């Protein structure tokens, strides 16, 4: 597959560097990975007392497990044409997926054993969704927008709070629901945007959807950083 038939022309893919580098960066979907990591930070900041090492740990866990491993799994499990071409072999992608997932769960296991056993429930759910969603297991029953919003938005926000408090609160559930809604909005825009981008049809609508995706993803990241700065200064 040539580079022109991949998604390398997406707005979040760098315009510089060799093809393999650009494909790898694109594969990570950095603005959307940033959204997911931001949800963990927002959830963490809702706790009364902040353990800052745990903020970094849960952000790193999701950056590895969903940012890298889940996106690689999506490329491996795609029932359609490979969205990023064949610049990486299946063996390379499997190794990358397994290594980053193992690292994420190793970090999570440490905190589960010593500090936050309740996180084990979310870890198990996220592991299930990583494979069920991206590999379209169980007849694709979990490969839909609702479960995407749960696994990519609601659970990361809840995980951030649980990582701090080892409990669940009404506030954390509300934030989790809000994160799920934001993720749902993102995936609803992303699907027609991807189709229009690949077909070249209706460039005006494609541009509007692209601007919406930029606003949602970058706005979420900015909000998380603002909340993080507020708690760092005033807590």
- In the chain, domain spans: 28-234
**What's the confidence (pLDDT) of residue 1?**
45
Q: What six digits make up the tokens of 177?
A: 């629901």
Backbone angles phi, psi at 202, to 5 degrees: 50, 65
Q: What six digits make up the tokens of 136?
A: 């379209």
Cα→Cα distances 123→13, 104, 119, 215, Å: 30, 10, 6, 29
**What's the confidence (pLDDT) of residue 79?**
67
Cα→Cα distances 2→59, 85, 186, Å: 34, 7, 28
Give the CATH fold of the 28-234 domain.
Farnesyl Diphosphate Synthase (1.10.600)
pLDDT tens sequence across 31-88: 999 999 999 999 999 999 999 999 999 999 999 999 999 999 998 987 665 667 778 9
Cβ atoms within 10 Å, residue 201? 10
Q: What is the pLDDT along the chain (235 residues), one digit of tens a residue?
A: 445 456 888 899 999 999 899 999 999 999 999 999 999 999 999 999 999 999 999 999 999 999 999 999 998 987 665 667 778 999 999 999 999 999 999 999 999 999 999 999 999 999 999 999 999 999 999 999 999 999 999 999 999 999 999 999 999 999 999 999 999 999 999 999 988 988 888 999 999 999 999 999 999 999 999 999 999 999 7
Which residues, other chains included, contact 123 with Cβ-Cβ below 8 Å and sequence gap of 6+? 105, 108, 112
Measured distance CA(157)–CA(159) in Å, rounded: 5
Measured distance CA(157)–CA(178) in Å, rounded: 9
Contact in structure between 125 and 155 (CB atoms under 8 Å): yes
| Beta strand extents in the chain (DSSP E only) | none
Of the candidates 196, 207, 161, which has an alpha carbon nearest to the alpha carbon of residue 48? 161
């Amino acid at each position: 597959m040539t580079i022109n038939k991949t998604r390398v022309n997406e707005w979040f893919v760098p315009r510089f560097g060799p093809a393999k580098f650009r494909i790898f960066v694109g594969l990570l979907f950095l603005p959307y990975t940033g959204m997911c990591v931001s949800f963990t930070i927002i959830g963490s900041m809702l706790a009364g007392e902040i353990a800052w090492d745990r903020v970094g740990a849960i952000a790193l866990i999701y950056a590895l497990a969903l940012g890298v491993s889940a996106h690689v799994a999506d490329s491996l499990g795609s029932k359609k044409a490979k969205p990023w071409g064949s610049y990486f072999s299946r063996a390379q992608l499997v190794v990358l997926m397994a290594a980053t997932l193992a690292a994420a769960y190793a970090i999570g296991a440490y905190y589960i054993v010593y500090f936050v056993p309740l996180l084990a429930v979310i870890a198990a759910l996220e592991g299930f969704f990583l494979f069920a969603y991206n590999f379209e297991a169980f007849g694709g029953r979990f490969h839909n927008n609702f479960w995407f919003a749960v696994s990519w938005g609601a659970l990361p926000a809840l995980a951030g709070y649980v990582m701090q408090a080892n409990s669940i609160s009404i506030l954390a559930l509300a934030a989790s629901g809000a994160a799920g809604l934001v993720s749902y909005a993102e995936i609803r825009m992303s699907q027609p945007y991807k189709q229009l981008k690949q077909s070249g049809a209706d460039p005006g609508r494609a541009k509007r959807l692209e601007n919406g995706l930029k606003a949602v993803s970058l706005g979420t990241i900015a909000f998380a950083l603002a909340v993080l700065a507020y708690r760092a200064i005033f807590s």
